[in-house]
Amino acid sequence: MSRTRWFFVAFLLVGLLGISAGIWTNALDTEPGTRVSIVWPGAASFSMGGERTLEISPDLVRQKVQAEIIGIRAESKQTFIVRREQRSLELLVIAGNRAIQRGDLHFVLLDKAGDEFSSGLVRLENDIAPHTKAKCVIADMAVQEAAVVRIVRH
């Protein structure tokens, strides 16, 4: 086989592997707050620094719902060239006069100018009975850039 033909076969193989890796990482990227990417082996760094203000919508305040940020989670795991990153904000929510059902609470992320740039569902493990508290999670890769996190009821 000629040298040109070997070069073409090698080029085709590398291209197919790259396409396969891209499809595979997109298939893994299904959980909110998670990003899977192909990267060059080496150290990864990220920051979740900065202040975040937690706001509760007026209708939730009238229902005496309370919330506070209790933790920020940022993980990055890399195996050779596959990096899996997760970002989330952990909240403690105290239900007010009404129970809070799974799927009731949503979040809106705002930048410093007050513009919305991401939103989604607040993840609760179970419903929250009136006047009880529970931990919940906001899983979104953009949470690290948020200046304000607003909790609303849908």
**Residues of the chain where predicted confidence (pLDDT) is lower than 70:** 1, 15-30, 41-50
**What 3-state class would DSSP assign to 28?**
helix
Provide the number of structural domains found in the chain: 2
Name the residue range of residue 92's domain: 53-153
User: Is 0.75 surpassed by the pTM of this model?
Assistant: no
118, 142 contact by CB (below 8 A) = yes
- AA identity, residue 81: I
Q: What's the pLDDT score for residue 28?
A: 55
Residue 111 within a domain: yes
Do 11 and 66 belong to one domain? no
Q: What's the pLDDT score for residue 82?
A: 79
- AA identity, residue 100: I
Q: What's the pLDDT score for residue 10?
A: 76
User: How far apart are alpha carbons 27 and 37 in whole angstroms?
Assistant: 11
User: How far apart are alpha carbons 54 and 50 in whole angstroms?
Assistant: 13
Question: What's 130's domain CATH number?
Answer: 2.60.40
Do 58 and 22 belong to one domain? no
Q: What's the pLDDT score for residue 75?
A: 83
Closest by CA to 87, choosing from 154, 33, 133, is 33
Q: What's the pLDDT score for residue 50?
A: 65
Pairing of strands 133-139, 123-124: antiparallel
- What is the 8-class DSSP label of residue 144? G
Q: What's the pLDDT score for residue 55?
A: 96
Do 79 and 135 belong to one domain? yes
Three-state secondary structure readout of 37-51? EECCCCCCCCCCCCC
73-95 pLDDT per residue, tens:
888 787 777 778 888 999 999 99
